[in-house]
Amino acid sequence: MAKKYEMIPVGMMNCDYDAYQRPAQARVKRIARDWDDKLANPVLLSKRKDGTYWVLDGNHTRLAAMMRFGPDYKLPCVILEDLSLQQEADIFTKRNSAQKKPRYNEMLKAS
């Protein structure tokens, strides 16, 4: 499965809440308020056969950028093509179940 890297306007990104995505949380407002380009991870997108882009990971970043800058703001994206809906859901599940918050002592060491 090949990956592409592109800057995509947030207004062109869709989110499949019915199949696998979580609804936006209140933290989107905080991310938008405290926006820092250096902290924004690339959004992982699926480019479907019809040419539309669907968020697999990074929806909070997308929503915060939309809120702060509007639909024409471009974010760095990693794009996977021609995935089935089941493959998209599997990637979403694996990416989000593997996330782990740093421990307190790790945060102290980093600061």
pLDDT digits (tens, 9 = 90+) for 34-79: 999 998 899 999 999 999 999 999 999 999 999 999 999 999 999 9
As a whole number of angstroms, the distance between CA 45 and CA 88 comes to 9
Average pLDDT over residues 87-100: 80
Relative to beta strand 3-9, strand 74-81 is antiparallel
pLDDT of residue 98: 65
Q: Tell the residue number behind the tokens 């990956």, with chain if given.
A: 3
Can you say whether residue 64 is alpha, beta or left, with left for phi > 0 and alpha for psi between -120 and 50 degrees? alpha
105 has pLDDT over 60: no
Order of strands across the sheet that contains 53-57: 3-9, 74-81, 43-47, 53-57, 13-14
Is pTM beyond 0.85? Reply is no
109 has pLDDT over 60: no
pLDDT of residue 33: 94
